[in-house]
Structure 1
Amino acid sequence: MNREAIFLKRLLAVIAGSGIVLGLVLISSSNYLLFHTLAEGFSIVIAYAMFLIVWNSRKFLPNQYLQYLGLAYLFIASLDVLHTLSYKGMRIFADESANLPTQLWIAARYLESVSLLLAPLWVKRKFNLPLVVGGYTGVFVLLVVAIFSGNFPDCFVDNVGLTSFKILSENLIVLLLAASMVGLWRQRDAFDSTLLTMLMGAILLTIGAEIAFMFYVSVYGLSNLVGHLLKILSFYLIYRAIIKIGLEDPYRLLFRELQQQQTALRHEQIHLERHVQERTAELSRLNQELQQEIAKHHVTEKALQQSEERYRLLAENIEEVFWLMQPTPVERVLYVNPAYQTIWKRSPEELYRNPRLWIEDIHEEDRDQVQQTFIKFLQGENDYQVEYRLRRPDGSIRWIFDQGFPVRDDAGTLVYVAGIAQDMTERKQIEQELRMKDDAIASAISGIAFGDLDGRLTYVNRSFLEMWGYDDPQEVVGRFSVEFWQMEARAQGVIAALQRRENWLGELVAKRKDGSVFAVQLAASMVVNAEDRP
């Protein structure tokens, strides 16, 4: 999509939006009740739609901020429905005063502001779905019962105006919304920049709406009109931020977090390899020094003590478990450093008393493999490098990377085995999350493809192959993406837009392997890493 088309599209959107706002203003001057119903109806429909879209897209939304908001807005919109139906002039409820709709309004805004404040807590952690649904259901029922039974504080008194409770509540809600912006900003690294801007703008407009509602003296007054218009704009931004991304670009957030986790995994892997290499090199050097000192026999006692002290300082201050054992004639653990207690949650003395604890603490599914690898290592058939799961005394599981090397005397006889065991649980968790996201992409019902900056395909999922009529990814990967579209010039325009870092949304005619064609709704965007590089 070229720049002129983008400008025209945005201009039409501005004109249409301005027309809608102008139309609502004109309607409000002649029939305020109709204006209020339309304004609230817009926000209610958007909120319910947001819940449905976020709920059905939850498998593809990597952070749970959006899922939590979608669920919260289901209950917020339900309070807004009651507020709309109870508005002065609707004549649905027996209470025709302006107090009832104002109470329902303030209850909905409390629920909205608290939800926006809590939502950043779930950016990097999972919430308990039944607990959250139960909590919101309980709060919703409690608010409705309190309001309709007359146990909720009055918010509006005819011929007087707003009560002090209503004004105080609006101020408190503004503070809660401001705090929610701070919380969202602190978690900004977890969001696409466009999404973050829209969410911050929506909250800011909501604050403006609440300030307007502080000053109205009539349900048909100017400040009420301004507040509802700001609410419409706020929900429009939420539509752009959540529903648009959920419908038109449902994988952008997933790809972004996937890229971040891949980068983190690479850094973790590089760090782990460097760490192990450094520790292994240091231990090998010290081992060689020790062997040389033993072989010489004439080394002084002081030199031996110095070597021993260096060895002890290194062993006792590394995060990994350093272990030394005697394999024959009786298998015996001679030494483990303090890191053993940190990772294994056992004291070294327990292991010295019962050397079998080392193998018994290994997960039963991994135990045989570790034993066989160690036996072959002692026989000189292979190196001892193995990954296994450790089951701690409290039942928790940790992943361990363990490696050992032989210590021999001058005759080449194996005397000791020394080794390093490292906790790699965090790395395993990152790998598991990456596999889950890879599976989600591979099994998605939409056709998904990745390509390089030149437009050459590097990955396609199963749905893409089925849609285009191919059986094997090798038939597709490596080819230019323009080959799969009927109008290659227009497809080239998509690539050009992405190279300019512009998102592209539109319809193209695709070309199957057998030559047949079909229409496709295409959403394309650039995937960048944590350094904002493609």
Structure 2
Amino acid sequence: MKNFLKGLLVLAVLLSFILLSRFNFLLFHVIIELYSILIGIMIFILSTSTYQFVKTNYFTFIGISYLFVSLLDFTHTLVYKGMNIFPFVNTANYATQFWISARYLEAVSLFLSPFFIKRKLKLIPTYLGYFLYFIASLLSIFYFKNFPACYIEGFGLTTFKIASEYVISLILLLAIYNHWKNKDYFDLYVLKLLIFSIVSTIISEMFFTLYVDVYGMMNAMGHIFKLISFYLIYMSIVETSLRSPYRTIFYEFLKESKSFKDYIEYAGIMFLILDTKGNILLINKRGEEILGYKREEIIGKNWFENFVPEEIRDELRKYFEFLIRNNAFEQEDKFKENPVKTRDGIKIIRWYNTILRDEKGKIVGVISSGEDITEKKKEEDFLKYLASVDPLTGVYNKRVGFEIFQKEMGLSLVRNSPLAVVFVDIDGLKKVNDNFGHNEGDVYIKIITEAIKKNIRKTDTLFRFGGDEFVLILPHCDRETAERIIEKILVNLKKLREELNKPYEFSFSYGIAVFYPKEDKSIDDLVREADMKMYEMKKIKNKEGE
């Protein structure tokens, strides 16, 4: 549901941009370019400032490149036709030239970036190279005016501009190939974000081969897909650097980073590293506390043999082996919960798992962070219990009762067997309340419900409908069987009254309705029918008592 709402929000934002482009293209262009530029700057800040976490030059290179791409895009925005910031800018050609310059820089950078996964990046030459490209673009377009024309007023896009878009798209396709070729070095989710970003850029370029009017719909769609591509690059860095800093892309991340080891050791959650056979390679201080053993008692042991309850051991071991064999950890739900054997008994741990790779990209194990949610789980279970039962009698409340009723009707159809419904109304409750007080009335209600619960089958369900009314659901039960069950309850109530020596009778009126799979009856129909029959019985009793 949460993802669905996010999707609706994104769709609403994109539709708002499209509508804005139809009413005021220049405002649309400024807003969407500034968003892209802001995202580009954030990419630079995140990728360079979080290098200590990801320990790879790949994202550092990406960050530097997007800083200078953003500078070119900012210049493109300032000289866009209609902005009137520079008096000598009287044509759309300037903005289109800066656009092409920025896209070439972006495409080539994305193509080259995978080469820096394992290579050292010299920062000063890299910054200098990008800076010189930026200055060369400014001089070529503004001063020397030798940058090829990209847009001619009254004519539209030039052959150079259209050809460049196709060349840029080809470079981007090669960038996708280059990333895919190095897929073993990437977290699967991060790789998807990167590839979808490049695909969005290619789609953007295709739109920019089609427009004639710089204020037209094709131009607007191209800018929207450019924004999407920037955002996906940004998300890949956020996912790698901030949200999951312990999801390693490279083996060196754990092997060489002392600060990360310190973070693991003193983290407030359990950290565990297993090899591909499930043997424990590392556990942190919090892990020792949760398991109740010293590190030397844990390291080297098989996790499944020593810390997983026997009843789920084989299942979890096979699941672990399947995920390792198929590299499927990233395709699974991010969080898993399962019981763990500790010195103090069973505890419930909520896990976040991801794979570890060596310098060649080979899977060498799994790193898991675990939170002890045992007490939280007990609280949740207790709250669920409170929300599902009637506080006086301990039987299910009306909401849960009807949920079970619906389920049992479905099972009745599948099994092709009858389902009996008994509507119960406690006799004489008002008199008990009036003569002996409401506390005694509550005792009377509990006596009736306890007698019913003790004399029905495990498959039957009793829930409180309201006040002194209850509903009994009897699966695999026709009318005759239901009558026998009720008679048994009433007989036992008489015996119980004699044992307790209460000054009032123990009895209830009831009505039975039976659902047969071939009948077209709803839950409401069955309850109504049983309720009417109960009232008929109550009327007879009242007449007899007069």
Which TM-score applies when normalising by structure 2?
0.52
- Structure 2 gaps, min length 5: 304-328, 337-349, 367-546
Pairing 1:201-240 to 2, within 5 Å after superposition: 201-240=196-235
8 Å contact from structure 1 (residues 460, 473) kept in 2: no
Q: Within 5 Å, give how 1:394-405 maps onto structure 2.
A: none
Measured in 2, the distance between the counterparts of 1:477 and 1:533 equals 17
Indicate the residue corresponding to 2:154 in structure 1.
Answer: 159
Indicate yes or no: 2:6 matched with 1:13. yes
- Give the alignment of 1:44-63 within 5 angstroms: 44-63=37-56
Matched residue, 1:35:
28
Contact 2:283 2:295 in 1 (8 A): no
1:167–1:499 distance in 2 versus 1, CA, 3 Å: closer
Do the aligned partners of residues 167 and 9 (structure 1) sit closer, same or farther apart at CA in structure 2, a change above 3 Å counting?
same
* Partner Cα distance (1:499, 1:176) in 2: 28
**What's the counterpart of residue 527 of structure 1?**
355
Q: What does 1:8-157 align with in structure 2 at a 5 Å threshold?
A: 8-94=1-87, 95-149=89-143, 150-157=145-152
Indicate conservation of the 8 Å contact 2:273/2:283, yes or no.
no
2:259 to 440, 443, 452: 440
1:442 positional shift: 2.4
Q: Matched residues in 2 for 1:105 and 1:166: separation?
A: 10
Instruction: Give how far 1:28 is off.
Output: 0.9
Question: Are 1:450 and 2:271 an aligned pair?
Answer: yes
Structure 2 contact 189–330 (Cα < 8 Å) conserved: no
Equivalent position amino acid for 2:153 in 1 = D
Cα offset, 1:168, TM superposition = 1.6
CA deviation after TM superposition for structure 1 residue 96, in Å: 3.0
Task: Give the CA deviation at 1:107.
Answer: 0.5
How many residues in Structure 1 have an aligned counterpart in Structure 2?
Answer: 317
The whole-number CA distance in structure 1 between the counterparts of 2:70 and 2:94 is 16
Q: Is the 8 A contact 1:501 1:525 kept in 2?
A: no
Distance 1:161 1:460, change over 3 A: same
Letter in 1 for 2:164: S
Aligned-CA RMSD value: 3.8
Q: Secondary structure at the match of 1:153?
A: coil
1:441 Cα deviation from its structure 2 partner = 1.1
CA contact 1:157–1:163 (8 Å) conserved in 2 = yes
Conserved? CA contact 1:442–1:461, under 8 Å: no
Unaligned runs of 5+ in 1: 1-7, 262-432, 481-497, 506-521
State the 4+ residue runs in structure 1 displaced beyond 2 angstroms: 442-449, 455-462, 472-478, 498-505, 522-534
Mapped to 2, the partners of 1:75 and 1:68 lie a distance apart of: 11
Distance across 1 between alignment mates of 2:210 and 2:122: 39
Tell me what 1:180 maps to: 175
Change (3 A) 1:443 1:451: closer
**Maintained 8 Å contact 1:198/1:241:** yes
The DSSP-based 3-state class of the residue aligned with 1:450 is: strand
Q: Is the 8 A contact 1:114 1:176 kept in 2?
A: yes
Query: Within 2, Cα distance between the matches of 1:452 and 1:66?
Result: 25
Residues 53, 476 of structure 1: CA spacing in aligned structure 2 closer, same or farther, 3 A cutoff? farther
- What code does the residue aligned with 1:247 have? L
CA contact (8 A) 2:54 2:240 kept: no
Contact residue 449 and residue 457 of structure 1 kept, 8 A: no
- C-alpha distance 11-211 of structure 1, shift in aligned 2 (>3 A): same
- Cα deviations by residue, 1:159-197 (Å, 9 ceiling, x for unpaired): 110112111211111111111111111111111111111
* C-alpha distance 138-449 of structure 1, shift in aligned 2 (>3 A): farther
CA–CA distance in structure 1, aligned partners of residues 171 and 245 of structure 2: 30
Report the counterpart of residue 301 of structure 1 in structure 2.
none
Does the aligned pair in 1 maintain the 2:273–2:282 contact within 8 Å?
Answer: no
Q: Counterparts of 2:333 and 2:129 in 1: how far apart (Å)? A: 41
Structure-1-length-normalised TM-score: 0.53
How far apart, in 2, do the equivalents of 1:194 and 1:17 lie? 20
Q: 2:239 aligns with which of 222, 238, 244?
A: 244
Deviation at 1:115, TM superposition (A): 0.5
TM-superposition CA deviations, 1:193-241 (whole Å, max 9, x none): 1111111111111111101101111111111011112112212221221
- Give the superposition deviation at 1:64: 2.0
Which amino acid in the other structure matches residue 436 of structure 1?
E
Asked if the contact 1:249–1:524 (Cα under 8 Å) also holds between the matched residues in 2, the reply is no
2:248 alignment partner, SS class: helix
Letter in 2 for 1:90: M
Partners of 1:173 and 1:523 in 2: CA distance: 43
After superposition, the Cα gap between the structure-2 partners of 1:504 and 1:240, relative to the gap in structure 1 and judged at 3 Å, is: farther
% same residue: 36
Residues 55 and 70 in structure 1, CA contact (< 8 A), matched pair in contact too? yes
Q: CA deviation at 1:434?
A: 6.2
Residue identity in the other structure for 1:113 = A
* CA displacement at 1:106 relative to structure 2: 0.5
